[in-house]
């Protein structure tokens, strides 16, 4: 019996040592503002979605945007996208729940514009519990209606040369507020645009953000250490009454760099959120 007890203690000790250490995080100020700090899985494109979810748990991040084609988990042929089976969807949702993470959105991805394909795409999104589809398709009345019928909003993402603020406004002027912008602040900076001024232009049409700070070489850096006015962007979003996902997304960096930078971004975001007036 003594040997068995010692063996059980050894097993439990090893399990505790291997379990991810949860970050102690005070996100009260951000949550009060309605700012949901998340991660775009593209940041960890060298890993699987399951491994990214585990990092969210470790770093105290509650929200996630998944992207098409990422391998779902190690030793599996499944990948993220509308081709997922119901069993794969259930497996992914169970993993997210286990780690205390909510999968909020999907993109950047195309959306079929024919009636049948569009319906099937939204049915998959509904099963996954998504709130937003991030895309670069041109929205129309049919897409707007599907969005209203399902409650899943459409966010037009700006790469440096796609969907600038004025184009988003022109494309959505006759559509509901369910259609708007996935405002990528890093790509605005890369295109030589001022993020705060672009948020002002989009007032009422900001659905979610890929929230970034860049250095003068256009590389992603920890919030508050680059050329973007992070506090100013947050204050403008507060002024507009924005409440939604703000995904961190790094376009560069190896795993060691990311595992250092992302928790630093989390700490900086929470600190700056507490200073927003």
Report the distance separating Cα 129 and Cα 101, nearest Å: 12
Domain ranges of the chain: 24-275
State both tokens at 15: 């399990």
Q: How far is CA 192 from CA 113, 168, 188, 234, in A?
A: 32, 17, 6, 20
pTM comes to 0.91
pLDDT value for 24: 79
pLDDT value for 8: 36
| H-helix or E-strand spanning residue 247 | strand 244-248
pLDDT value for 12: 34
pLDDT tens-place string over residues 42-72? 999 999 999 999 999 999 999 999 999 999 9
pLDDT value for 1: 41
Contact residues for 19 (Cβ-Cβ < 8 A; gap 6+): none
Residue ranges, the chain, pLDDT below 50: 1-21
Q: How far is CA 205 from CA 40, 114, 146, 187, 249, in A?
A: 20, 25, 18, 18, 21
Report the distance separating Cα 120 and Cα 143, nearest Å: 13
CATH code for the part of the protein at 24-275: 3.20.20.150
pLDDT value for 31: 97
pLDDT tens-place string over residues 109-154? 999 999 999 999 999 999 999 999 999 999 999 999 999 999 999 9
């Amino acid at each position: 019996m003594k040997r068995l007890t010692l063996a059980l203690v050894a097993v439990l000790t090893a399990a505790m040592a291997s379990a991810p250490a949860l970050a102690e995080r005070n996100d009260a100020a951000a949550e009060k503002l309605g700012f949901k700090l998340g991660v775009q899985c593209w940041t960890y494109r060298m890993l699987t979605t399951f491994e990214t979810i585990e990092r969210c748990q470790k770093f105290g991040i509650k929200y996630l945007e998944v992207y098409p084609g990422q391998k779902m988990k190690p030793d599996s042929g499944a990948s993220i996208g509308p081709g997922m089976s119901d069993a794969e969807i259930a497996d992914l949702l169970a993993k997210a729940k286990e780690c205390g993470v909510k999968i909020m959105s999907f993109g950047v991805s195309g959306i079929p514009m024919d009636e049948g394909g569009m319906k099937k795409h939204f049915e998959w999104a509904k099963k996954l519990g998504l709130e937003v589809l991030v895309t670069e398709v041109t929205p129309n009345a049919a897409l707007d209606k599907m969005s209203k019928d399902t409650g899943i909003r459409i966010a037009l993402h700006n790469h440096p040369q796609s969907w600038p603020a004025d184009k988003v406004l022109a494309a959505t002027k006759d559509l509901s507020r369910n259609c708007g912008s996935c405002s990528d602040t890093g790509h605005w900076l890369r295109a030589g645009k001022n993020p705060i001024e672009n948020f002002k232009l989009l007032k009422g049409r900001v659905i979610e953000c890929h929230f970034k700070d860049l250095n003068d070489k256009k590389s992603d850096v920890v919030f508050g250490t680059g050329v973007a006015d992070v506090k100013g962007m947050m204050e403008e979003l507060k002024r507009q009454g924005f409440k939604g996902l703000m995904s961190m997304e790094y376009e560069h960096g190896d795993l060691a760099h990311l595992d250092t930078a992302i928790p630093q971004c989390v700490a900086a975001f929470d600190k700056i959120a507490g200073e927003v007036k």
